Amino acid sequence: MMRCTLENRNAQTKQLQTAASNVEKHFGELCQIFAGYVRKTVRLRDKADLLVNEINAYAATETPHLKLGLMNFADEFAKLQDYRQAEVERLEAKVVEPLEAYGTIVKMKRDDLEATFTARNREGKQLTQKEHVSETHLIDMLEQSRPYKLCIITNRGSLPGQVHTLGRNF
């Protein structure tokens, strides 16, 4: 019965270790990909801001009618970049930071799991040593009781017959 419980705990521990490894691997990848996406979105926003500045500079050199059209286009394009900035801030706040925090939690849980695994191994070794000591103690007790039985038997009757009987019993 004790063996079955230990095997169940071993299976559960291995399953938890596998789950923790999967989470660490995949969430790490997700964090890196989302962070890369955010960085690329920031670069795109920066390039778009440069484009808006260049459009405004070009508009300043053109005729009033074209200037008005280019300025309106630059304003609308700048509004899109404001939306992109809001997207970057939301991604950082709602996706990247929670994933990083979850990664820290997973690492702490993995450490707890390792500590539990180590304690369980230590407990198993102690149980094995205890069983070994118990078996050794039992064997010692049996060996110590044999001379006592021999002494009792030899005091009861004829020595050769009882020693022969004793040899068959042991």
Per-residue pLDDT tens digits for 65-94 = 999 999 999 999 999 999 999 998 998 888
**Number of compact structural domains in the chain:** 1
pLDDT band at 156 (very low <50, low <70, confident <90, very high): low
Question: What pLDDT does 44 receive?
Answer: 92
Domain-located, residue 108: yes
pLDDT band at 1 (very low <50, low <70, confident <90, very high): very low
Domain-located, residue 62: yes
pLDDT band at 48 (very low <50, low <70, confident <90, very high): very high
Distances (CA, A) of 125 to 60, 79, 120, 139, 169: 83, 68, 9, 21, 36
Domain-located, residue 47: yes
Q: Provide the token pair at 102.
A: 């979850």
137: helix, strand or coil: helix
% of the chain surpassing 70 pLDDT: 77
Domain-located, residue 65: yes
pLDDT band at 4 (very low <50, low <70, confident <90, very high): low
Residues of the domain holding 45: 2-140
Domain-located, residue 106: yes
Average pLDDT, rounded, for the chain: 79
Residue 124 pLDDT greater than 60, yes or no: yes
Domain-located, residue 169: no
Domain-located, residue 163: no
Q: Provide the token pair at 31.
A: 């964090």
Domain-located, residue 115: yes
